[in-house]
Chain A
Amino acid sequence: MTGSDSRIRVKEVDGVTQVEFIDRNILDEANIQAIGEEIDGIISASPAPRLLISFANVDHLSSAALGTLITINTKIRNRNGKLCLADIDPQIYEVFVITRLNQLFDIHESKEAAMKAFG
C-alpha cells in the first residue's frame, strides 16, 4: 500500500488501518491531495473502513489538510465505517478547537485509547 512516493505509513492492527504521516508539516496542497488520494484508496478497498489517523509526527497542519480530513470523514461515514484521530500535539489540537472540528471528529489522546474506541 505504501509506495516509495507515499506521504503516509499504513499498517493493519486488529482490523483497524493505522495511518501515520511521514511529513512533519502538512501544508503543501499537492502533498495534501496525494495523502487524500492514498487514504481514499484505503477507504474504497473496504466495505466498512475502520481508520485510525495518528498525528504523532506532525508539527504543522493547514486548513487545506483539515478540508481533506473532513472529506475522508464523510466518505468513511457514508460507507458505515469509523474514523478516529489520535496523538495530536496540543498546538495542533487548538486548531481543531478554533475551527470547532474537535466536535466533528472522534479524537483520542493516544493510539491505544483510539484502538479501544473501535471495540
Chain B
Amino acid sequence: MADKVSLINDRDQINAVQDLIVERAEELGFPSATLFALRLAMEEAIVNAFHHGHRDLAPETPITVEYTLSPERIRVAVEDQGPGFTPAAVPDPTLDENLENPGGRGLVLIRAYMSRVRHNDRGNRVEMELTVPEEL
C-alpha cells in the first residue's frame, strides 16, 4: 500500500515531502548516490507537474505524490490534474541543435537516474522506480 500526499506549489511543502522520502530511503540503507538520484528525480517530476501539467489551472490546484519504500525498491508516482502530455513529443535536449535551449531537461534526468520510468496513457502521471544497485 503506497503512502499518498497531496501537495500544492509551495516550496516548503515540496521540500518537506522530498525530505521525508529521502530520509526513509536513508533509513533503509540506500547509498548517497541513490539518495541524490531520488531527490533530483522527484524534484524534476514535481516541478514538471506544476509548471507544465498545471500551467492552465488555478495556482492552488494540488498534485499527488505516492510512494512506497522497501529495502530493495523505491517507487514514487507524481500525478497532476492537467490534460497530460506525450513524452515522445518532447524534443531531445541533448541533441546539438537543442543544447542551448534553457528548458526540457527534467525528463532526461529522470530517465537517467531512475531504474524504470513509466507514464500513464493520459500523460499526467509519472511512475518512477529505483532498485538496489546490483553487487558487482
Contact = CB atoms under 8 A, between A and B. Distances in A.
A95 B102 CA distance: 15
B88 interface: no
B36 to A, nearest CB: 5
Nearest to B51: A29
Interface residues of A, number: 23
B92 to A, nearest CB: 10
Interface in A69-103: 70-71, 73-74, 91, 95, 98-101, 103
A67 B100 contact: no
Contact of A103 (B43, B93, B99, B103): B99
B40 A95 contact: yes
Given A60-B36, A95-B40, A100-B94, A67 B47 contact: no
A66 B93 CA distance: 12
Given A30-B11, A62-B47, A104 B105 contact: no
B123 to A, nearest CB: 19
A68 B39 CA distance: 20
Contacts of B11: 28, 30
B106 interface: yes
Contacts of B5: none
A64 interface: yes
Contacts, number: 54
Q: Give the secondary structure class of A's interface.
A: helix
A74 B100 CA distance: 8
Contact of B94 (A60, A91, A99): A99
B47 A66 contact: no
B28 interface: no
Given A62-B43, A63-B44, 19 more contacts: A60-B36, A60-B40, A62-B40, A62-B106, A63-B103, A63-B104, A63-B109, A64-B47, A66-B102, A66-B105, A67-B103, A68-B102, A70-B101, A71-B102, A95-B109, A98-B112, A99-B105, A99-B108, A103-B99
- Lowest 5 A-B CB distances belong to which pairs? A67-B102, A63-B105, A98-B112, A100-B94, A63-B106
